[in-house]
Structure 1
Amino acid sequence: MNQVKLAVNGVDLVFEPNYTAYNQFINEMSMDNKVAPANNYLRRIASQDTKEALDTILVLPGAALQLVEEVNKIFAPKLEIEVKN
């Protein structure tokens, strides 16, 4: 299992992203609903030992979206795509 370890405002967080949780996050997200799916996704993939610490971070404005971006940079990196004709 891949782990993503982050230090956020001096708090260590460990995430264990997986395809099921990632796909559920993408499917729940819409143009007018991004924060709740991000919170849910992070809570699903947070290691048991850091769930309580995560809750202290998620109360900060914008925290969920910033964390999701960092976790997914590692779990689902951008592909290098080139169009060839």
Structure 2
Amino acid sequence: MGTGGNKCLAWFLPSYGPGGQLLPSGGNDWSGFWGGYIGAIIGGVCTVIGVYWIIEYSQENNKEDVRKRVLPYMALTVLHKEI
């Protein structure tokens, strides 16, 4: 990876001060901006996956319920006649 890759990587990293804290300006704005978008994308992907799992689970349960409703059942009554 050449120096161009390092410049690109440095663009995504926030600026840190001597104590390891984010500087009040000079990087925090962009990291907050991109952090908001990246967080929204991650949250959206997790939501879509969760909705997909719920739909699959509901369809499986629905198929089982339909199968149980359609199954025939038989009630036997035994009548005894005393002689």
- The two structures have a TM-score, normalised by structure 2, of 0.24
The structure carrying a bigger helix percent of its residues is 2
- The two structures have a TM-score, normalised by structure 1, of 0.24
Which structure has more relative contact order (CA 8 Å, sep 6+)? It is 1
Bigger Rg, structure 1 or 2: 2
